[in-house]
Amino acid sequence: MTALTLCCYACADEGPTIPSGPQAPEIPAPTSPENLVRAVEVIFNDTVRSASERLREYSNLFAPDFEFHDPPPRYPFILEEARGLFEGQESGDIYSLRASIVFKPAADLDPPEPGRENWKVMFASNIGFRLLMTPSDGYEENGGQAMILAYPTAGGSRWFIAEWFVLPRPRPIL
Burial of 82 (0-12, 13-18, 19+ CB in 10 A): buried
Residue 17 in domain: no
pLDDT at 80 (0 to 100): 74
pLDDT at 82 (0 to 100): 84
CATH number of the structural domain spanning residue 98: 3.10.450.50
| pLDDT tens sequence across 31-56 | 999 999 999 999 999 999 999 999 99
| pLDDT tens sequence across 62-79 | 999 998 887 765 555 667
The residue among 116 and 8 whose pLDDT is bigger is 116
Residue 63 in domain: yes
Over the range 96-135, which residues count as b (16 or more CB within 10 Å of their CB) and which as e? ebebebebeebeeeeeeeeeeeebbbbebeebebebbeee
Residue 11 in domain: no
Q: Is the pLDDT reported for residue 84 higher than 90?
A: no
Residue 145 in domain: yes
Domain coverage including residue 132:
27-167
Burial of 65 (0-12, 13-18, 19+ CB in 10 A): exposed
pLDDT at 75 (0 to 100): 57
CA–CA distance, 86 with 161 (Å, rounded to integer): 20
Query: Could you give the count of Cα atoms lying within 13 Å of 58 in the half-sphere of its Cβ?
Result: 25
Q: Is the pLDDT reported for residue 12 higher than 70?
A: no
β-sheet bridge partners, residue 65: none
The mean pLDDT of 117-122, rounded to a whole number, is 95
Residue 84 in domain: yes
Q: What is the pTM of this model?
A: 0.81
Please report which confidence band the pLDDT of residue 5 belongs to, taking 50, 70 and 90 as the band edges: very low
Closest CA to 50 of 78, 76, 88: 88
| pLDDT tens sequence across 107-117 | 999 999 999 99
Residue 147 in domain: yes
Residue 2 in domain: no
The number of domains in the chain is 1
- Average model confidence (pLDDT) across the chain: 85
Residue 115 in domain: yes
The mean pLDDT of 97-124, rounded to a whole number, is 94
Rounded to 5°, the CA angle 79-71-150 comes to: 50
